[in-house]
Amino acid sequence: MPRYLTMVRIDENNAPEGGPSPELMQRMGDLIEEMTKAGVLLDTAGLTPTAEGTRVRWNGGELTVTDGPFTESKEVVGGYAIIQAKDKAEALEWAKRFLQVHEAEWDVTSEVREIVAG
């Protein structure tokens, strides 16, 4: 079965004050449990804010290292999940369900991409 990486993108500057509500965390936990029992979820985690991150870039034969925060970033990867699904349509359904556990004030995008077997 193919594996998919779902990258959860958020705008750190416009995320709800105080982060996820306890109710959101409960709904997210319930969905993660369901996905785990279904054998779909292989791994998932949230990521620290970009202020705590570092970018390493190779450009023009030179390596640069830049500590966050990254002011030019509007939308950043805030978390991820690796899922195993029968096809892309199933992976998209799980991604949609994950987004729908969020309250209306959240602006969240999930990018779903198949992992190339190698």
* pLDDT confidence of residue 11: 87
DSSP string, the chain: --EEEEEEEE-GGGSPTTSS-HHHHHHHHHHHHHHHHTT-EEEEEE---GGG-EEEEEETTEEEEEESP-TT-SSEEEEEEEEE-SSHHHHHHHHHHHHHTS-TT--EEEEEEEPPP-
**What is the number of structural domains in the chain?**
1
Q: What is the pLDDT of residues 22-63, one digit of tens each?
A: 999 999 999 999 999 999 999 999 999 889 999 999 999 999
| Distance, CA of 62 to CA of 29 (rounded, Å) | 43
Domain range spanning residue 50? 3-114
CATH number at residue 107: 3.30.70.1060
* Verdict on whether the full-model pTM lies above 0.95: no
